[in-house]
Amino acid sequence: MVQRVGGFRRDTRRKFKKGIRQKGKISLTRYLQQFNRGDHVQLQAEPAVQKGMYFPPFHGKAGIIGEKQGRCYKVQIKDGGVKKILIVHPVHLKRL
């Protein structure tokens, strides 16, 4: 079998691109934001931070915060009718 070339962020040039006004230093408020169990969030990647990033096909999906695991949160999403749990750093989450 042929081995795939590329890694985790393959084919994400446009998906994870920042707008012209969002470029620069990362906001500490967003980096250190807190969530409670049951909060509704949207997966919105911060391309400058790779730690705690979810798999790219889930970009833009909405989910519910489960519990905290270390610095990250467990987020429950529905992907094609199947419930999945992702472990995501708060910098990649946007409150709905």
Give pLDDT tens digits along the chain (96 positions).
888 888 888 888 899 999 999 899 988 999 999 999 999 999 999 999 999 999 999 999 999 999 999 999 999 999 999 999 999 999 999 999
Could you tell me the pTM of the whole model?
0.89
Burial of residue 12, with CB atoms counted within 10 A of its CB: 0-12 exposed, 13-18 middle, 19 or more buried: middle
Does domain 28-95 sit in CATH 2.30.30.70? Answer: yes
* Residue 30: Cβ within 10 Å count: 15
Compute the Cα dihedral for 33, 22, 41, 84 and give only its sign: negative
Spans of all domains in the chain: 28-95
SS3 content of the chain, % helix, strand, coil (to 5): 10, 30, 60
